[in-house]
Amino acid sequence: MKSVIAEALVKTYDKGNVKALDNLNLDVEEGTVLGVLGPNGAGKTTTVRILSTLLRPDSGRATVAGIDVIKNPDKVREIIGLSGQYAAVDEILTGYDNLVMFGQLYHLGKKQSIARANELLERFSLTDAAKRPIKNYSGGMRRRLDLAASLIVKPKVLFLDEPTTGLDPRGRQEMWGVIQELVKGGVTLLLTTQYLEEADQLADEIAVIDTGKVIARGTSDALKKQVGGERLEVVVDQQHVAKTVEIVSAVSGHAATVDEGLRLIMAPVSTGSAALVEVLRSLDNAGIHALDIGLKRPSLDDVFLALTGHVAEEHKEEEPVLTGRGRKAKK
């Protein structure tokens, strides 16, 4: 069963001159994680805001758990959670007070709001910091609290818009653990990210968006094969570059490319470590010592270069300024 469906969504800004979404089609199976991968300005945030009822599309249709997001936005809000790119919490209040406030905004009642706040603070390892003002929280703690706030109503569907933005590697790993725990609990998740590694870790399927359209979709392995899989890279002394190009080309089955300045020879490989071992053996037989050798997995730029013919370029999505948890700010 499809828990989230978006059909032919169109959204423009600047009197139609900027097309944020261009007939975008997307769906998420119930109980799974869809990673939406793309650069800044690709349309990821616009998609999330439409699906979470914060924006109306110019045309198209969208449903969440079978509920039309345009016709019945209030019903959709009762069953979803949303965590945006930046933690939407009140910095003056404590973590505990923030969660209690969100519970009351969701009409849980004071007693239930307090119980839910304590439960979430413990779940997200924030109990010790519960009575501290948010302004004294680290970036990772703020993100965890924001995610906790999005779970106040125990949502069926959760939208996470670049949840690890601004986090250091340790904070990102902690957030991944929290997200994986939620998925095990049966939540349907749509996750936007700029990090291929993040989508690889968390998503059952990945949809790649560029210029407001889905340009590719599949499992992580399928997308990697689509963009050429792994790439073998070898660095050697200048006098051995030509022979190394010959060896790498023969093993990979592709014409190797060379970065003359770095003395780096590169070629896509489909057999991974087996190709690496074969190249090492051939270099050894030729009396060539590799200064550096390894396999590189595709990066975000590799994916976009292969799929679109250009690297991922950033441009701003012209969207309304939001304050709090989804309220439009007056300009």
277-290 pLDDT, tens per residue?
A: 999 999 999 999 99
Which of the two residues, 38 and 318, has the higher pLDDT score? 38
Largest CA distance in the chain: 76
d(C-alpha 142, C-alpha 170), whole Å: 14
Q: What is the helix (H) or strand (E) element at residue 276, kind and residue range?
A: helix 273-285
Nearest Cα to 302, choosing from 235, 236, 234, 208? Answer: 208
218: left (phi over 0), alpha (psi -120 to 50) or beta: left
241-252 and 273-285 helices cross at what angle (nearest 10)?
Answer: 140
Query: Is 55:21 a contact under the CB 8 Å cutoff?
Result: no
Whether 67 shows a pLDDT value over 80: the answer reads yes
* DSSP category for residue 122: H
Query: Is 269:232 a contact under the CB 8 Å cutoff?
Result: yes
- The whole-number average pLDDT for the span 54-62 is 96
Sequence letter at residue 61: R
Q: How far is CA 69 from CA 66, 74, 305, in A?
A: 9, 8, 34
Whether 103 shows a pLDDT value over 90: the answer reads yes
Q: What is the per-residue pLDDT for 313?
A: 52
Q: What is the per-residue pLDDT for 172?
A: 84
pLDDT tens-digit map of 255-267 = 999 999 999 999 9
Which of the two residues, 270 and 126, has the higher pLDDT score? 126
Which of the two residues, 150 and 84, has the higher pLDDT score? 150
Domains assigned to the chain: 2-79+155-224+312-328 (3.40.50.300), 230-296 (3.30.70)
- The whole-number average pLDDT for the span 306-322 is 52
Q: What is the per-residue pLDDT for 304?
A: 67
Query: Is 198:165 a contact under the CB 8 Å cutoff?
Result: no
Q: What is the helix (H) or strand (E) element at residue 44, kind and residue range?
A: helix 44-51
Q: What is the per-residue pLDDT for 312?
A: 54
Provide the mean pLDDT of the chain: 87
d(C-alpha 283, C-alpha 58), whole Å: 59
Counted residue by residue, the chain has a size of 331
- The whole-number average pLDDT for the span 60-85 is 93
Give the pTM: 0.76
Identify the weakest region by mean pLDDT among 66-70, 184-188, 243-247.
Answer: 184-188
Whether 194 shows a pLDDT value over 90: the answer reads no
Residue 309 pLDDT level (bands cut at 50, 70, 90)? low
Whether 298 shows a pLDDT value over 80: the answer reads no
Q: What is the per-residue pLDDT for 87?
A: 67
Which of the two residues, 234 and 42, has the higher pLDDT score? 234
**What are the structure tokens assigned to 209, written together?**
């968006």
- Percent of the chain's residues with pLDDT above 70: 89
